[in-house]
Amino acid sequence: MKIYDIIIIGAGVVGASISRELSRYKLDIALLEKEIELAFGVSKSNSGIIHPGTQNPPGSLKGKLCVQGNILTRQISRELGVDFKEVGELIVAFTEEEKLRLRELKKEAESLGVPRLEIVDSAWLGKNEPNLSKEALAALYAPTAGIISPYRLVYDLSENAARNGAEFFTETEATAIEKKEYFEISTSKGVFRSRFLINAAGLFADDISRMLGIDDFKITPRKGQEFLLDKKKEHLTNRLIFPLPTKTSKGVLVIKTADGNPMIGPTAEDIEDKDDLSTTDEGLKNVLTRARKMIPLIDGSDIIAYFAGLRPASGNDFIIRHEDKTPGFINVAGIQSPGLTAAPAIALMVCDLLKKSGLTLKKKLIFRSHRKKTIHLFTEPLKKAKALIKKDPGYGDIVCRCEQVSAKEITDAIDRGAKTMDGLKFRTRAQAGRCHGSFCTARLMKILSEKTGVPLKDITKRGKGSRIVLKDRRDD
Amino acid sequence: MIERELVIVGAGPGGMAAAISAYENGVRDILLLERDQYPGGILNQCIHTGFGLDYFKEILTGPEYAERFIKKIKAIPEIELSLRSFVTLLTGDKLLTYFKPGRIETVKARCLIMATGCREKTREMVHIGGTRPSGIFSAGLAQKLINIDGLLPGEEIVIVGSGDIGLIMARRFTLEGAKVKAVIEIQDKTRGLLRNVVQCVTDFDIPLYFNHKIVKIFGKDRVTGVSVARVDSDMREVTGTGFKIDCDTVLLSVGLIPENELIEMAGVRIDKKTNCPVSDETNKTSVPGLFVCGNAFMVYDLADSVSKDSEAAGRLAAEYLKKIGRAG
Amino acid sequence: MKKKLICIECPKGCSLDVDIENCRVVKVTGAQCPKGEKYAISEIEDPKRILTATILTKGFPLKLLPVRTDQPIPKARIADAMKAIRKLRVTKRVKTGEVIARDFLGIPGVSVLATRDLEMLK
């Protein structure tokens, strides 16, 4: 049986970033994911903010990696053809006391190396953020903050890693791990062996670590409920709008997203259940009140969707370390915010840890760093769209009316690995608009079934147990 | 770029009636755009009876009602029906861009009638908490899956809202062999037609709860149940009245919203609360020569009323074209 | 025996009190017009419904052909009717109004009609 040099558990943004970084080297890499598709864990409900590095404690690991990651993300997004937009962020003060704290925040961030910070006054805000509450006194402006699509980043990182030789196994859940001569990982799809093991299992990183006898940390899910607004409100703000941070969170934000829809949230609720993705009325009220304090124009009727995500928190900082007690085992745990931003820096750090623990990293002769940008018709100018349709009529066949997704984008997404309705949604935005798939669900199912050979009634929302329909008349 | 006398967007009961009426009132160049591969719009999935009593003095099913208009349209060569044509852009001076398989067309309409219908409100708009598993459908989607695609969305159903589509789907699910466990209505009376309450719910002994709401949806991968509670006159949950219903499917029939994103893009004034165009007269909008008819103008109870009022839009369009014709 | 009914002949929706003896209506009160009594009698003594459903097609882009009974059939036979309809298949082009099945469920004169044209796409 094949012995991999490295196995990574967990195909979220951390696992995907590590796999892509390692795929530069002459190594056999495998990535194991328990869900049916990648990015179906913590990453699927990420806000998509590439943080500048503000709001992190001075001297923290996450602060350092965030600042590095912000820079690295730009190059990676260029190479992979993922849309990254530098929109900037404002941390807004509403009282004199808060205004004073802006200076502290600025100082702390500067000590971490966050560039080009500036404190702006109410006149600046009035001119540059006209929808911001007139009660805002001042703000800390961090121009290097950006936005990206978190799941598309995971898909494109993984696709590029795979192109450079990394192997991906989905619906492959690690159930037991032993360290003998090699790591032996028992999974729902058989035993995998490797010389090195990287735990990037997100919410379940503590469970994975415990399988190797290391149980000095616990992942506490911290739930965040987020509320998406109609795309019509895309220009509600020009930047990401933050309140002053509290000890446990960055507070309720008004977020710009890569898809255009503004988002408000998240809440921050420490919970026990790692599967609890429920949303509540209280969460909605809480978020709406806080968001409207900053942007009074926001109305409850603008909300078209909501969801909850879980931050895999463990204490206040990331845990990234080689476990000397189990040589070759690296934990990458507690990657809460700003994990998406930090991911490429985490990947570099993991490479370093691997080197230090005895792995030789030899560069491949050819590393294909670039991939062709995925086409999203609605973001293309009309001229380009016309040319695309001429080349492939499928681009002229609109399947999703709200987000204007064409049949060709759907079949492309399936070719690139989408197996479920959620997988299609995350990749293409079909079903993510204001009608919630009422219009396109049936057609999407048909295309998915025709292309993958899965019978219509076995098409799922997100894998096992989540079938969309239960019976087909053709079986009568 | 091509210029057309009259462009109508949407070939459902509104757009088809408007096209015929415009022709009958003298318009001789009509482009009727329809995004689906068949004309008829939502009528095609409304296989139940209940159409035509007002308009044709006959009881018809949705497809039969549509067929009457389709036959007429096909017999009028001055009406060009363009199927699989999806309008994506509209400007204030009535420039339309639409996608077809294989090409994008831009057309300038001298006069425009939008008959884009309406969409269903979603769970988020009525604030139902809980999880987001598979098994939550708008009533219209479930109707399409069953009546057009031959797929049964679920076997144990709870229906939220007693609007007509919800009631009709209670009957359809029952006929198709599923068990409808309850219809939950937050108001103290049905929102649907009386005959639908009797023939879709009472006929099958389906419990209909008034003054109740769904508080939460349960289930990780697929819906496993809902919690229901009574509400007071302010629609607030009454504590201690909650109970759970096991089900694998939640169907939402909680209201309709006019589909007016295109005209909003074109700068037509829209009422934020109702999503209807702001108007002082049926079918008229704040933009001269841009008319809206049918459910896009306001949500109607009956397709018959949609067709009737849409005929008026056809007349208005003809009058408008005559007026600007003389001026030009 | 007494039974309450809501008349559905028009949107007024009169609340009817019906006195029944041996499955026969003997008295109807509450109706604002003569239609109410007629409705009550048919609902109690011989309730009937038009059934609409779909039939699986073979070889057409449209998977299902919508159909209806050409006249109301006894309410008690609706379940049987659904079973019978699920067994039917349409393999030929049909036009709206064409008869798909005659003497349906063995009821003389009752036909199942297509309510949509079934044809190949051009």
In this predicted model, what pLDDT tens digit does every residue of B201-242 receive, in sequence order?
999 999 999 999 999 999 999 999 999 999 999 999 999 999
Q: Quick one: pLDDT at residue B327? A: 47
Alpha carbon of C93: minimum distance to chain B alpha carbons (Å): 16
Task: State pLDDT tens for residues B85-97.
Answer: 999 999 999 999 9
Owner of token pair 């919800």: B166
Among B61, B191, B208, most C C-beta atoms within 10 A, so best to mutate, is B61
Is the Cβ pair A465, B138 closer than 8 Å? no
User: Per-residue pLDDT for A134 more than 90?
Assistant: yes
Task: State pLDDT tens for residues A190-205.
Answer: 999 999 999 999 999 9
On chain A, the residues whose CB falls within 8 A of the CB of B144 are 442
User: Is the peptide bond between A266 and the residue preceding it cis, with omega within 30 degrees of 0?
Assistant: yes
What are residue A119's phi and psi, to 5 degrees?
-95, 125
**Which of residues A289, A310, A331 is at a domain's end?**
A310
Q: Quick one: pLDDT at residue B325? A: 85
Taking the C-alpha atoms of A198, A201, A207 and A208 in order, what is their torsion angle to the nearest 10 degrees?
Answer: -20
Owner of token pair 């199942």: C112
Q: Which amino acid is at A474?
A: R
Task: State pLDDT tens for residues B154-194.
Answer: 999 999 999 899 999 999 999 999 999 999 999 999 888 88
Closest chain C residue by Cα to residue A474: C56
Query: Are residues A443 and A328 part of one domain?
Result: no
Nearest to B99 among A396, A446, A462 (CB): A396
On chain A, the residues whose CB falls within 8 A of the CB of C54 are 473
If 0-12 CB within 10 Å is exposed, 13-18 middle and 19+ buried, where does residue A472 land?
Answer: middle
Query: Are residues A96 and A78 part of one domain?
Result: no
Among residues A51, A322, A370, A376, the one annotated as catalytic is A51
Is the Cβ pair C8, B195 closer than 8 Å? yes
User: Per-residue pLDDT for C122 more than 70?
Assistant: no
Q: Which residues contact A251 (CB under 8 A, 6 or more apart)?
A: A242, A243, A244, A245, A290
Reported as type and span, the H/E element at residue A85 is strand A84-86
Nearest to B220 among A232, A275, A398 (CB): A275
A396 inside 8 A of chain B by CB: yes
pLDDT averaged over chain A? Answer: 96
Task: State pLDDT tens for residues B231-280.
Answer: 999 999 999 999 999 999 999 999 999 999 999 999 999 998 899 999 99
Domain of A426 in residue numbering reads as: 377-475
Quick check: B160 and B186 in contact, CB under 8 A? no
Which range among A418-427, C6-15, C18-27 shows the weakest confidence by mean pLDDT? C6-15
A462 inside 8 A of chain B by CB: yes
Q: Quick one: pLDDT at residue C37? A: 93
Strand A190-199 relative to strand A329-333: parallel, antiparallel, unpaired?
parallel
Mean pLDDT of A22-47: 97
- The CB-side HSE value for B301 (13 A sphere, CA atoms) comes to 11
Query: Are residues A319 and A238 part of one domain?
Result: no
Alpha carbon of B328: minimum distance to chain C alpha carbons (Å): 40
Per-residue confidence band for B317, with pLDDT thresholds at 50, 70 and 90: very high
Among C63, C120, C73, C119, CA closest to C96: C119
Closest chain A residue by Cα to residue C85: A476
Per-residue confidence band for A175, with pLDDT thresholds at 50, 70 and 90: very high
Nearest to B221 among A397, A465, A471 (CB): A465
Cα A291 from Cα A298, distance rounded (Å): 7
Task: Report the domain count for chain A.
Answer: 3
Largest CA distance in chain B: 70
Within 10 Å of residue C38's Cβ, how many Cβ atoms?
14
Alpha carbon of A446: minimum distance to chain C alpha carbons (Å): 12
**Which of residues A310, A339, A362 is at a domain's end?**
A310
Output the CATH code of domain C52-114.
3.10.530.10
Q: Give per-residue burial for B200-231: e unless 16+ CB within 10 Å, then b.
A: bbebeebebbebbbbbbbbbbbbbbbbbbbbb
**Which of residues A331, A351, A371 is at a domain's end?**
A371
- For this structure, is A51 an active site residue? yes
Per domain, the residue ranges of chain B are 2-119+256-327, 122-252
Is the Cβ pair C78, B175 closer than 8 Å? yes
Mean pLDDT of A60-89: 97
Cα C39 from Cα C41, distance rounded (Å): 5
The reported pTM is: 0.95
Mean pLDDT of A431-443: 93
Closest chain A residue by Cα to residue C57: A474
Cα A435 from Cα B257, distance rounded (Å): 10
Quick check: A466 and B133 in contact, CB under 8 A? yes
Is the Cβ pair B104, A232 closer than 8 Å? no
Question: In Å, how far are A199, A212, A333, B112 from A208, measured between CA atoms?
Answer: 7, 7, 10, 62
Residue B111 in tokens: 């006069």
Q: Quick one: pLDDT at residue C12? A: 83
Residue A218 in tokens: 């616990």
On chain C, the residues whose CB falls within 8 A of the CB of B67 are 96, 115-117
Q: Quick one: pLDDT at residue B328? A: 40
Cα C34 from Cα C27, distance rounded (Å): 13
Cα A457 from Cα B151, distance rounded (Å): 7
Question: Coil, strand or helix: which one is B24?
Answer: helix
Query: Are residues A158 and A67 part of one domain?
Result: yes
On chain C, the residues whose CB falls within 8 A of the CB of B177 are 82
User: Per-residue pLDDT for A249 more than 90?
Assistant: no
The correct answer on CATH 3.50.50.60 for the domain covering B122-252 is yes
Cα B142 from Cα B138, distance rounded (Å): 6
Quick check: B19 and B73 in contact, CB under 8 A? yes
Mean pLDDT of B318-326: 90
Q: Quick one: pLDDT at residue B326? A: 56
Query: Are residues A107 and A55 part of one domain?
Result: no
Residue A115 in tokens: 């560039």
Query: Are residues A151 and A70 part of one domain?
Result: yes
B2-119+256-327: CATH, from 3.40.50.10860, 3.40.50.300, 3.50.50.60, 3.90.550.10: 3.50.50.60
Query: Are residues A126 and A190 part of one domain?
Result: no
Query: Are residues A128 and A174 part of one domain?
Result: no
Query: Are residues A350 and A207 part of one domain?
Result: yes
Among A411, A422, A413, CA closest to A463: A422
Per domain, the residue ranges of chain C are 2-46, 52-114
Alpha carbon of A84: minimum distance to chain B alpha carbons (Å): 25
User: Is the peptide bond between A243 and the residue preceding it cis, with omega within 30 degrees of 0?
Assistant: no
Is the Cβ pair A460, B134 closer than 8 Å? yes
Query: Are residues A445 and A306 part of one domain?
Result: no
Among A223, A397, A398, A399, most B C-beta atoms within 10 A, so best to mutate, is A398
Q: Quick one: pLDDT at residue B260? A: 96
Mean pLDDT of B132-144: 97
On chain A, the residues whose CB falls within 8 A of the CB of B152 are 469-473
Question: CATH topology of B2-119+256-327 equal to that of B122-252?
Answer: yes
Cα A371 from Cα A280, distance rounded (Å): 40
Mean pLDDT of C57-79: 96
Question: Percentage of chain A surpassing pLDDT 90?
Answer: 93
Q: Quick one: pLDDT at residue B256? A: 94
Residue A2 in tokens: 């094949």
Alpha carbon of B315: minimum distance to chain C alpha carbons (Å): 29
User: Per-residue pLDDT for C114 more than 80?
Assistant: yes
